[in-house]
Chains A and B, each alone.
Chain A
Amino acid sequence: MSIYRFVVNGAETEVDVPGMRRLLDVLREDLALTGTKEGCGEGECGACTVLLDGAPVDACLVPICQADGADVRTVEGLAGPPGPPGPAPEATLDALQTAFLQTGGAQCGICTPGMLMSARAYLDAGGGPDEDAIRDAIAGNLCRCTGYTKIIDAIALAATPAATLATRERTGGTA
């Protein structure tokens, strides 16, 4: 057992665990951040994708010793803090989550957290609404429900500058 210190969703965090314990287990079991999912445990499905210093990684393949001192972001860190109670919970979602909700990019939802994190990394790196580039960015995240069509739509929507969307709305144009 050793002490590892890192930042999770902006919060300084410390765990005392074996160095080879999977980052996935530290997040889910030690820190109760169950938004990150396990689909295969061998780096094939991408359901456990988190951002490690901004880069998307499969948390099932990262031993906690490699996360020491790193900045980790999970799906729980995407949305803003809960707003006042009301009928519109989506008000606290970020632009990417909102786009997924509007386009139908989430169905069963089990691949969604990992998919969002890969998409977040793509957008943060300046990715645009180009379909082929988006397909490439999420090629490591398997989805069995959607056929990917509406996931790609969602990421493209989130990658489209608000000014462009506003112009389209005024002129009645479509995407």
Chain B
Amino acid sequence: MTTRTQSPGAIVIQPGTIVPGRARGVAPLRREGPAKLTGAAKYADDLVFPDAWYGLTIRSTDAHARFVALDLDPAFDWSRVVVVTAADIPGDNIVSSIKSDQPILVPVGGEIQHHAEGLALIAAPDKATLRAARDHLHARTEKLPAIFDPLESDHEFARYAVGSGDVDAALAAADLILEGEYRVGHQEQLYIENNAMIAVPRDDGGVTVHGSLQCPYYVHAALKRGLALSDEQAHVVQAETGGGFGGKEEFPSVIGLHAALLAGKAGRPVRMIYDRHEDLAATTKRHPAIVRHRTGVTLEGRLIAQDIEVIMDGGAYCTLTPVVLSRGALHAGGPYRCPNVRIRARATRTNTPPNGAFRGFGAPQTEFAAETHLNRIAEALGISPLEIRRRNVYVPGDTTPTGQVLRDSVAGEEVLERAAEASEFERLRTRLASARTGRVGSGTIPGSPLRTGVERVASGIGLALAWHGAGFTGSGEVHIGSVASLELTAAGEIRVLTASTEMGQGTKTIFPQLVSEALGVAYDDVEVADADTAFVPNSGPTVASRTAMVVGGLLVQAAGRLRTQVEAATGGRFADTYRDHAATYGPIRIDQRFEPYPGVPFDDATYTGDAYPAFGWAACVARVDVDLDTGEVHVRDVVAADDIGRVIHPVLAEGQVEGGTLQAVGYATVEEIKLRDGRYLNDRLATYIIPTALDAPRISTILVEAPFGSVPHGAKGVGELPMDVGAPAVIAAIADATGVWINDLPASPERILAAMADLPAVAGLRPGASEPATT
């Protein structure tokens, strides 16, 4: 079920109508849908290259060690395979990223920083030979002391301070101070297609890499640096990509380099297709985090001081950690007005596999803490979770802790009210509470721990609200300077050229929608070029929910220029004349470069200014049943209200909200990585579990449209927003049902039963009381 509702400044669009400046009308079908539905779509492992060999990675089994030697068993015939070590790397032994700290392969004599680190590579003509070679190769190491606790590590990847006002003075004046500590662990992206790359040597000494990836130009940069190649010699082509969610943002650079090194030495194509175990064991996860809140409020529940500390576990190498931490810190207060804020954030190194990008990018961690903390404040004050949000949510004109004045596209109130209304939040909350009260004692057997079925299940309802900065943080977009291109070929074809990848979210559908609308031509008249670095410009990575807003905006601008140019020459409507124009004057290519949006530029040194060009807003109401005997949680249904700016394609946008919501439900309830000595214990799909169709709630989506005024089509992006808000809503519903707060995700049956047995919690929340840390 979907409804679209009005928000301040929003335009309500009737289905089928077309509003100037935006794509609308009957939503077209997914462009690449038929290929995916018939099995014709080619993912990396479906691509056939004659005479290709198979590659694999020899990994450390130590969390921290000196790499002493690589021993090749002389009994094995090594002429049948190729072996690559760090000594074979022609360029820098560095995986190009923010910091130059991660080697492509650990050199002999070098330091191993995590248990899944690559030490050597092998390729063989068949899988049996490959396995035999692996069994005859032995890495000798000397163990070193390892650090697994981010709080014990003194190696910092990044540190930020965000703040405004006088927090200490405001806390001294507060009616109530509530402290809390919240912990979240690793989460695996669990795209159903594992990471996969195939490298093919080129005649010019370079390499073409075909693979499953989000960011062709990240892999391109990595190949250039690691293999010492020119722009032309490094060639990256995206295959159909079976999900990413951030997990194919930076890791494809590693696997792409590995495949390319093997292909170079073998002189033939090499396939590096991870199986699920290797993908789980070796690729990036969501950063674990510890978030501490100390909050001062008035008796009416108004926030007057927030003192927040964020510690993230970066894993063994930096990857994108500084940017993840930055987004986490900037979202840590939640979408609430508070005059005195101090946010201190740091990320440290541990001897665990590097953590990286995952949908939400730091915000789900800190917003889980902020929302759970606010719900506990509401409970301590005896105020409804809905009412406390009404009193604090940002409204137009409010200022964030970085000094950003929220003027355009502010819809926190709107999504809150829409979700509360559609879910009948207050009515159900009252009804469930009275049902629980009336049932006390009714199902128990005196002297026995057994309960009857009547009392075994407790139901609860929970609410959460979130904001999500649209596009890159701070000055990121200005630094990248993306280019998107539109081409009118000599044959009269209109083609979109960008490096923005399709991985299920709908890039290949919304781009032709936007361009066809701006040009006044049919949707099917606009083609989308493959994401191939040989001919698409660098429109930036496909991350940060920036594709629809930023790259889509560039394409609408490019289409406007193309239309003007053709109509000026022909004097007729573009749609009627462009084919003749192309035949007469030849091809036209418009390259549209990003120009900063209006606003106060962000200062990276002081962390002040406009942290984001705009924010998306989301509210979520979850209903759960908790089995009081087993601690099992069933999330029954979820109402999600998301403001994403103008909606380009309602079906695709709902799909993003539904999918992100279920990933958040998984984060809240079942998804957990257990570690021992820095190694993931549950590194198989049998042990790392995600929700099935039977675990998934019914999800009702409400799309709210508060358009962003600085792009011609008003879109803000949708992918990450729902990920921020689902987990705290589920945790609040569990607390409503059971009376216990789970401050450490996920709310597994074990944690719920332990919390209920200890009866910790709410009674202790007195003014100035400090909540003991939970584990």
A102 part of interface (Cβ distance < 8 Å): yes
Range class of the B interface residue count: 35 or more
A76 to B193 alpha-carbon distance, docked (Å): 19
**Residues of B close to A38: CB separation below 8 A:** 45
**Residues of B close to A150: CB separation below 8 A:** 651, 654-655, 658
A107 near B659: Cβ-Cβ < 8 Å: yes
A90 to B45 alpha-carbon distance, docked (Å): 25
Choose one: A34, A97, A136, A149; the contact of B694 (CB below 8 Å).
Answer: A136
**Residues of B close to A49: CB separation below 8 A:** none
A87, A141, A144, A148 — most chain B CB neighbours (10 Å): A144
**Residues of B close to A40: CB separation below 8 A:** 275-276, 684-685
B692-703 interface mask toward A, CB cutoff 8 Å, 1 = contact, 0 = none?
111010110000
**Residues of B close to A101: CB separation below 8 A:** 29-30, 33-34, 37
Choose one: B240, B276, B660; the contact of A42 (CB below 8 Å).
Answer: B276
A109 near B242: Cβ-Cβ < 8 Å: yes
B597 part of interface (Cβ distance < 8 Å): no
B243 near A108: Cβ-Cβ < 8 Å: yes
B245 near A104: Cβ-Cβ < 8 Å: no
B30 near A75: Cβ-Cβ < 8 Å: no
B30 near A106: Cβ-Cβ < 8 Å: yes
- Give chain A nearest CB distance to B239 CB in angstroms: 11
Tell me whether A142 and B36 are in contact in the complex, defined as CB-CB below 8 angstroms, given that A104-B651, A110-B242 are known contacts: no
A156 to B358 alpha-carbon distance, docked (Å): 32
B275 near A93: Cβ-Cβ < 8 Å: no
B34 near A35: Cβ-Cβ < 8 Å: no
B659 near A147: Cβ-Cβ < 8 Å: yes
Within 8 A of B (CB), among A74-131: 74-76, 78-79, 87, 89-90, 92-93, 97, 100-104, 106-113, 116, 131
A128-161 interface mask toward B, CB cutoff 8 Å, 1 = contact, 0 = none?
0001001110111111111111111000000000
B690 near A116: Cβ-Cβ < 8 Å: no
Choose one: B36, B39, B503; the contact of A34 (CB below 8 Å).
Answer: B39
A27-47 interface mask toward B, CB cutoff 8 Å, 1 = contact, 0 = none?
010001111111111101101
A32 to B45 alpha-carbon distance, docked (Å): 12
A76 near B39: Cβ-Cβ < 8 Å: yes
Choose one: A76, A87, A110, A134; the contact of B43 (CB below 8 Å).
Answer: A110
- Give chain B nearest CB distance to A134 CB in angstroms: 8
A108 near B241: Cβ-Cβ < 8 Å: yes
**Residues in B lying within 8 Å of A, measured CB to CB:** 29-30, 32-43, 45-46, 48, 189-194, 240-245, 275-276, 503-506, 524, 651-652, 654-655, 658-663, 684-686, 690, 692-694, 696, 698-699
Given contacts A107-B505, A134-B693, 18 further A-B pairs with CB under 8 A are: A37-B242, A39-B685, A44-B684, A44-B685, A45-B276, A101-B33, A104-B655, A106-B30, A108-B503, A109-B242, A110-B243, A112-B36, A136-B693, A144-B243, A147-B659, A147-B662, A149-B654, A149-B698
Which 4 pairs between the two chains have the least Cβ-Cβ distance? Answer: A35-B39, A110-B242, A108-B504, A109-B36
